[in-house]
Amino acid sequence: MEPPKIWRERRQRYLTLGILCNKCQMKSFPVTDFCPECSSNDIEEIKLAQTGKVLHFTRVTQTADVMMFNTPYIIGLIELDDGTRVTGQITDTKIEDLKYGMKVKTVFRILSKNGEEGLIGYGFKFIPS
């Protein structure tokens, strides 16, 4: 029996990990076996920056059942200080207080709850810094 996906991917969920392509030098997220820019498999896993700025954001009101406890929530496109762009939930603020270019930092929080199986999924979110 294969372990649940949440356990197989736990390093990627608990740390902001990405890849660096040794051929074209592009940094990207999430961890993959090939560079999304040049398709090279000459890559290495790297720890991404923990701070960045908000590029875009929106409010989410409908989502998967395991995330309904969070709704409504804010999701954003974040450009990390190392240039990598990631999407993630922005928390500990109101949408009215968010601004484009606002500085944020990575925090570790609950992402999902599966009531039937009792699994709690953790991962990174962003808060204003």
Q: What is the mean pLDDT of each run of 10 residues along the chain (129 residues)?
A: 50 72 94 95 94 96 79 94 94 95 93 74 90
Residue 108 phi, psi dihedral angles, 5° rounding: -105, 120
Buried b (16+ CB within 10 A) or exposed e, 42-73: ebeebebbbebbbeebeeeeeeeebbeebeeb
pTM (two decimals) = 0.79
Domains and CATH numbers, the chain: 1-48 (2.20.28), 49-129 (2.40.50.840)
